[in-house]
A and B are shown apart, each in its own frame.
Chain A
Amino acid sequence: MRSLIRVYDAVVPGLAVVAGAMVASVFLAIVHDVALRSTGFHPPAWTSALTEYALLYMTMLGAPWLVRTRGHVFVDSIARRFGPALRQRVEAGVYGLCILICLVLSYYAIDQGLAAAARGEEDWRSIVMPRWVLFAAMPIGFIPCALEFLRFLLGPDSMYASGRSAGSL
């Protein structure tokens, strides 16, 4: 069990590293595309489709890491005023709700993905991709998110430990 947890511990930042590599790849792909186009060469057809897919995948792959590092945006200015007991109950309720949401969405994304695969549905962009690839991103992100919320629910750490969420546009 311990080794399984160790593997899982490495998977979450590993997914984030892949997501970070996608950010860099998107930048390189667009520069490559425009450079080819403006010098009279034909840019590859896959650039816009794959960069669009990358947006979904970088978001879903980075989401569990963001839960673990307490990076999701939340407003705790009201809940902070609750007494410790009520605060703890509200926190537990929040974690429970988030776990439920992650599992519901994962279930329906898998359901839709399997249905799309069975029907052989395709996603037509600048290139044609099987549609289930889009749905697959969601359980890959939301199931580890549910596990991260479960850790907050069962463990001693609080998602609100830093006092406020960090960063914005």
Chain B
Amino acid sequence: MEWYESGALIVGALIALIALSVPVAFAFLAVSIAGMLIFIGGEAGLQQIAVNATAAITRFVFLPIPLFVLMGELFFHTGLAVRVFDALDALFGRLPGRLSYVTVAGGTMFATLSGTSMGSTAMLGALLVPEMTRRGYKPHMAMGPILGAGGLAMIVPPSGLAVLLGSIARIDIGKLLIAGVLPGLFLALLYMATVFVQVRIDPAAAPRYDIPRVAWTTRLGLIAATLLPMGFVVFMVIGLILLGIATPTESAAFGVLGVLILAAAFRRLTRKAVLDSLTGTLRVTVMVLIIVLASSTFSQILAISGASRGLVQWVVGLEFPPLGVLMAMFLLLLLLGMLMDQVSMMLITVPIFFPLALTLGFDPIWFGIVVLLALEIGGVTPPFGLGLFVMLGVAPGGTTLGDVSRAVLPFVGCDVLLFFLMIAFPWIATYLPGLMG
């Protein structure tokens, strides 16, 4: 079988099974079993799947996944997130479109304290959509910034997806996490600029309303009592990695410890909050790790069949400029993002894209951030962007998937703009990891 035939068969069968609503983990396993029977044959292949599965996730590098998720779950279930939001709300004063700005600022802050984007999106949506609707904001001014800012958690550390990407692509996870800081902040600024432009074009989209004036002393008090303590958690994760005191895995555990200490200090640490957080963590962790376990043989089959090597040689032989290949990979990721969830698309594309990117001379950390950016966009593109469904769940009655998709479009534009900025100025993603030596 030629490499393109086997590649099309493997990837095509996987996508067909996923499209037929087979749970993603089981679709990977089905393709692995069939692939092993075809390309290795006999029982040896099936025995190899069992061996691969046991080795796939028993790796220390995967430990931040449950811990980053636990950190975010505790942050939301203890009510610390609401406390942060209330403080930001008071700080923004009478700015036109203030609630949209509060959304972006809150989403950025939540992203630095949580390893999952869905938690952020659900939290921002539940808190802000009713208030924005009550204040007469047009739906796009509420839903767009929430979806944009909610997705920041995929790029801004701590990010469970970044850990997963780093471990699958075998790149330095600490550097990949730190590399997400500047692109994340750039995106937040681009989102703020988008809100500014939207309000200037259509002031009625975010009507002004009277709010009680908050004294400067009160504002300073809020910063000192609520926002600055959150910096402690950020330090526990990012600071410890940057200082070289802790590995990403250890810093994830200390991030959890930081949230627990803060929750206890604010008297928000309850038995129910801890149990709910553990349940939520287990749900996401099992869901993600079983897909990783199931896909452990997938990249091996791509290699054994010659599909990945054949594709790399073919693309290199075409002598396309590397930027053209990069665009094609980015577009393919965007396309896949419309069809499946981020973890699945990462596991399908990373074994193919990373060898290609390295052959073409791209910096692996920089390329990792490009992939995360594409995944973030995939999280809000129909029909399978989970963020869209989370938003539909909290949007006012009568809101359609089309309304939500249109609202997020300018923010997806910001993501695409950042992609081009990162091509023009690669230091956006490489400067901070470069400091780590």
Contacts and interface: CB of A to CB of B under 8 A. Distances in A.
Contacts of B149: none
Contacts of A27: 67, 70, 253, 256-257
B154 A169 contact: yes
Interface in B328-357: 339-344
Given A20-B279, A104-B33, A112-B50, A48 B60 contact: yes
B57 interface: yes
Interface in B151-195: 154, 159-161, 164
Nearest to B386: A168
Interface of A: 16, 19-20, 23-24, 26-27, 30-31, 33-34, 38, 48, 51-53, 55-56, 58-59, 62-63, 65-66, 69, 71-79, 90-91, 93-94, 97-98, 101, 104-105, 108-109, 111-112, 134-135, 137-138, 159-160, 164-169
A71 B283 contact: yes
B22 A74 contact: yes
B21 A90 contact: yes
Contacts of B18: 74-75
A109 B50 contact: yes
Please provide the 6 A-B residue pairs with the shortest distance between their CB atoms, ordered closest to farther: A62-B286, A30-B253, A72-B23, A134-B54, A79-B21, A169-B160
A55 B57 contact: yes
Contact of A63 (B50, B279, B286): B286
Contact of B286 (A66, A79, A97, A166): A66
B21 A168 contact: no
Contact of A73 (B57, B161, B343): B343
B23 A167 contact: no
A105 B49 contact: yes
A168 B116 contact: yes
Contacts of A109: 50, 53-54
Residue from B164, B283, B287, B386 whose CB has the most chain A CB atoms within 10 Å: B287
Interface string B273-312: 0000011111111111111010000000000000000000
23 contacts: A20-B278, A20-B279, A27-B253, A34-B250, A51-B60, A55-B57, A58-B285, A59-B285, A59-B289, A63-B286, A65-B286, A66-B283, A72-B287, A73-B287, A75-B341, A78-B19, A79-B21, A98-B22, A108-B46, A168-B287, A169-B117, A169-B118, A169-B154
